[in-house]
Amino acid sequence: MNNKGISKLTIVCISIIAVLLVVVGILVGYIAGNKNSQKSPENTTTQVVSNDTTEEVTEATEQDNDTGEIAEEETEDEPEDKTEDKTEATTEKSSDDKKGDKDNDKNLACYVKMTSGDHWENGGFIVKQYNAVIHNKSKEDINGWEIKINGVKGGKLEGSWNGKFKLSGDTLTITAESYNETINAKGMVDIGFQLKFKDEDSFDNLSDPVLYVNGEEYTQEYVKEEIEVNAEPKTPESYASGSEFEKHGRLSVKGTDIVDKNGEKYRLKGVSTHGLAWFPEYVNKKSFETIKGYGGNLIRLAMYTAEGGGYCTDGDQDKLKKLIDDGVTYATELGMYVIVDWHILSDSNPQMNQDEAEAFFKEMSIKYKDYDNVIYEICNEPNSGASWADVKEYAEDIIPVIRENDKEAIILVGTPTWCQDIDEAAKDPLTGFDNVMYTVHFYAATHKDNIRDKLKTAHDKGLPVFISEFSLCEASGNGEIDYDSADDWFDMLDSYNISYAQWNLANKDEASSLINPDCKKTDGWKDEDLSETGKWMKKKLGEK
């Protein structure tokens, strides 16, 4: 083969290859261009977001964030990585917004509120205790509930109660026991557990609890029922001439003290009725006059909310409000001070019947706004896991309801654990409200230095305290009387100028009742008509 022949062959081959390359290039360009024309911003977005945020994020990607106008053309001209950056930012915002909704418990008709308690070291681990309460504010029972808490990876379950607990990977799942699988309408379920980690910072990774019902995340919004209140203000009759009230007038709170209209320290002392529904006969003018004759200047009207005959259960609300109205009228005519007491007990957490409480105190504060002797007690004895955070949140809702009508009346706020944990309130008191006091209850045979020390701590921190209920016996309201402990209590109350109401004005067959069970008189009691507690009460009220 000569050189000239080789040259021609080479030229032909090169020409063929060049033509083929051009054809392939055209085909590749066509295919690529066709694929690009089918790729929309929506498809790009949905590949990088979760199902529950796809629709929201797609809309955000199609619109310009500043103008809200369609920005399709600009998106097509932008590099793909820039579109993905915008999508990720939008996804993150969506997640934050959803978390914000979770934090607002009151948005849901049924929700979980989790609080942490003490922590301690154990075997190289940090252990922390948690309390989770499911609040059902709806009018329907809830069944098939489940709670999930994320961020538990690396942690261990140390202890638990009132639920079935399963820790798997990053998630703690809590399901119902047989006895609490139904959360009654307006009811609650209280759950507790302890987690442990190697370091304390790991606890910060825990997510807010999420409630599931029958396998679905609970999202039903709470619709507050507006209750019509048609109360008319009442004008008090003239107070008894020469009475304690005439001398001292409307009371207020200054520091840890109650002061009278002249700014002088003043002290309230008297008795509390038993449940108005059960012992209504003691709400009469002569009964109160007898207490006044002993030296008392205060009557507390205890209206139970949840027990049989309670205001929020099966009680006759009109009859109960009539008893309160009678009690306020009699106390006013006698120149005495009077506490209107929302007596929660078995309902434990004041938030359980908060709607009813708001309507009740709205009506009471409208009716008695011109009465300078009325005091409002908004929650008797929070208990059974109701935290100070719960009580404080409730108080922050109820106090403005009263203040809308009655600007100056003293308001008493209960404290956790049957009004024993006054120290918790002292750590985080209510702010922005005047004339507010915090209650302590004691039963002398049960509550001794442990509760007195808490009161001292609160008083030393400047918290104004009111003993709105006490007796000499055990916490059950019955049992042995402990006069020595009662004397220790009153040494403290006297030195701190703390006001009090003794439990209870009735003839119930128990140690705390002031009247003997066989005495049928409803006023004018002689010493032989009084129980041992009643005789002590009479002597104490008579002391200057």
- Known catalytic residues? 381, 469
- With beta carbons less than 8 A apart as the criterion, state whether 282 and 506 touch: yes
CB count, 10 Å around CB of 129? Answer: 16
Phi-psi map region of 89: left, alpha, beta (phi>0 left; psi -120 to 50 alpha): alpha
DSSP single-letter state for residue 501: E
Q: Is 324 helix (H, G, I), strand (E, B) or coil?
A: helix
Tokens for 59, please give them. 């809309």
Task: Tell me the residue length of the chain.
Answer: 544
Helix-helix angle 285-294:317-333, to 10 degrees: 40
Q: Which amino acid is at 277?
A: A
Alpha carbons 364 and 340: distance in angstroms, whole number? 9
Alpha carbons 115 and 112: distance in angstroms, whole number? 10
Phi-psi map region of 169: left, alpha, beta (phi>0 left; psi -120 to 50 alpha): left
Alpha carbons 525 and 544: distance in angstroms, whole number? 21
Q: Which residue from 172, 174, 147 is spatially nearest to 163, judged by alpha carbons?
A: 174
DSSP single-letter state for residue 39: -
Identify the H or E element spanning 87. Answer: helix 80-103
Does residue 450 have a cis bond before it (omega within 30 degrees)? no
Q: Which residue from 51, 351, 65 is spatially nearest to 186, judged by alpha carbons?
A: 351
Q: Is 152 helix (H, G, I), strand (E, B) or coil?
A: coil
Alpha carbons 492 and 499: distance in angstroms, whole number? 11
- With beta carbons less than 8 A apart as the criterion, state whether 272 and 502 touch: yes
- With beta carbons less than 8 A apart as the criterion, state whether 287 and 522 touch: yes
Backbone angles phi, psi at 196, to 5 degrees: -135, 140
Backbone angles phi, psi at 514, to 5 degrees: -85, -15
Kind of pairing, strands 298-304 and 269-273? parallel
Kind of pairing, strands 125-136 and 110-122? antiparallel
